[in-house]
Amino acid sequence: MNILFSELQYNFLEHLRFQKRYSNHTIISYENDLTAFFNFIGSNYTESNIESIKASYIRSWLASMKEADMASRSLNRKISSLRSFFKYLLKKEIVKVNPVTAIISPKMPKRLPQFVEEKDTKNLFTTISFADGFKGLTEKLLLEILYNTGMRKAELISLCEHQIDVSNSNVKVLGKGNKERLIPISKTLIFNIKYYIAEKRKLFDKQENNVLLISEKGKILDPKYVYNVAKKYLAEVTTIHKKSPHILRHSFATHLMNNGADLNAVKELLGHSSLAATQIYTHNTIEKLKDVYKKAHPKA
């Protein structure tokens, strides 16, 4: 890397560190991306002036990484690093043109949410053995609520007894931005919640903030504990890579969509602010239809 490029990079990184207050981790990522780019320029071109760098040089650099099978996500991050760097140079009037504006970022592959198959969620609550006593009751009800309501882990942890409306069979959830939503729940889940509360009363006189689910010590559940419970029991019924409380939320939404639920209704149940966030679940439905078509249609 020539001295000019090195000095410009150093000044930019200092700007990120002291003006933008970026984390060390982020700054290191920028540094690695810029160093790789300038090393490529030094190895393939004779340019020593930052203003001489063209969009075609950047495309060549990206093409070399694409040929090395670098993922689109990583390529986009490198483009973002260069874009920020040249914006900084423009602002400082070191360059007159930002060559990155002519670069089109590669399309990101759509990542469909993982979910547990319906038969596997049925096994989770009918064939799996939970621990005896209050610990087992808590772990099973924790999973039942996550799957039956699709609520987030944080929403579950803060869920209080008064949010359960037994007479109307629903639960009031306080979501992101303190936005409330009502989620209907089954008579079976109502029964299990009432039983859990009764058993809890036998063991504890007072609980923190009247939360529904508590630990064996009568304390609010720790997020790591909830994660570990989900991971432990999901590992017994599914081989999917991710095993977390959020997977049960994905499963809740996917199973609703697969069984004909209205997209807007699923949006409200999940507490999404926009329909776009919910539409990812339609892709799983489409994939299921494709699978049915391939298996059933004689010309497939």
**Contact partners, residue 116, CB within 8 Å, separation at least 6:** 124, 234, 237, 238, 240, 247, 248, 251
The answer to whether 55 touches 41, Cβ cutoff 8 Å, is no
Residue 111 has pLDDT above 80, yes or no: no
- Position 177 in a domain: yes
Residue 258: pLDDT band by 50, 70, 90 thresholds?
Answer: confident
Q: Where does a domain end: 69, 102, 135?
A: 102
- Position 15 in a domain: yes
pLDDT at 294: 76
Say whether both 270 and 197 belong to one domain. Answer: yes
Say whether both 18 and 127 belong to one domain. Answer: no
Residue 278: pLDDT band by 50, 70, 90 thresholds?
Answer: confident
Query: Cα(215)–Cα(161) distance, rounded to whole angstroms?
Result: 15
The tokens of 5 are what? 């490029």
- Position 110 in a domain: no
Rounded average pLDDT over 80-104? 96
- Position 260 in a domain: yes
* Burial class, 81, CB count within 10 angstroms (exposed 0-12 / middle 13-18 / buried 19+): buried
Rounded average pLDDT over 87-106? 95
pLDDT at 73: 87
Say whether both 26 and 124 belong to one domain. Answer: no
pLDDT at 145: 98
- Position 172 in a domain: yes
Instruction: Please indicate, yes or no, whether the overall pTM of this predicted structure exceeds 0.85.
Output: no
* 3-class secondary structure per residue, the chain: CCHHHHHHHHHHHHHHHHCCCCCHHHHHHHHHHHHHHHHHHHHHCCCCCHHHCCHHHHHHHHHHHHHCCCCHHHHHHHHHHHHHHHHHHHHCCCCCCCHHHHCCCCCCCCCCCCCCCHHHHHHHHHCCCCCCHHHHHHHHHHHHHHHHHCCCHHHHHCCEHHHEECCCCEEEEECHHHCEEEEECCHHHHHHHHHHHHHHHHHCCCCHHHECCECCCCCECCHHHHHHHHHHHHCCCCCCCCCCHHHHHHHHHHHHHHCCCCHHHHHHHHCCCCHHHHCHHHHHHHHHHHHHHHHHCCCC
Say whether both 65 and 133 belong to one domain. Answer: no
Task: Note the pLDDT tens digit of each residue in 202-257.
Answer: 998 776 668 999 999 999 999 999 999 999 999 999 999 999 999 999 999 999 99
pLDDT at 34: 97
Residue 286: pLDDT band by 50, 70, 90 thresholds?
Answer: low
pLDDT at 208: 60
Task: Note the pLDDT tens digit of each residue in 113-146.
Answer: 889 999 999 999 999 999 999 999 999 999 999 9
Say whether both 215 and 178 belong to one domain. Answer: yes
pLDDT at 94: 95
The Cβ of residue 198 has, within 10 Å, a number of other Cβ atoms equal to 9
Say whether both 87 and 126 belong to one domain. Answer: no
Say whether both 30 and 125 belong to one domain. Answer: no
The answer to whether 2 touches 42, Cβ cutoff 8 Å, is yes
The answer to whether 246 touches 233, Cβ cutoff 8 Å, is no
Residue 75: pLDDT band by 50, 70, 90 thresholds?
Answer: very high
For the annotated catalytic residues, the residue numbers are 152, 176, 246, 249, 272, 281
**Domain CATH code at residue 138:** 1.10.443.10
pLDDT at 260: 87
How many Cα atoms within 13 Å fall on the side-chain side of residue 242?
13
Task: Note the pLDDT tens digit of each residue in 168-184.
Answer: 999 999 888 788 999 99
| 73-77, 162-166, 207-211: range with lowest mean pLDDT | 207-211
Can you give the residue range of the structural domain that contains 94?
3-102
**Domain CATH code at residue 96:** 1.10.150.130
pLDDT at 207: 65
pLDDT at 288: 65
Query: Cα(174)–Cα(159) distance, rounded to whole angstroms?
Result: 8
The count of domains in the chain is 2
The tokens of 159 are what? 């869920």
Residue 3 has pLDDT above 80, yes or no: no
Q: Where does a domain end: 43, 71, 102?
A: 102
Say whether both 280 and 191 belong to one domain. Answer: yes
Share the mean pLDDT of the chain: 91
Query: Cα(192)–Cα(186) distance, rounded to whole angstroms?
Result: 10
pLDDT at 280: 81
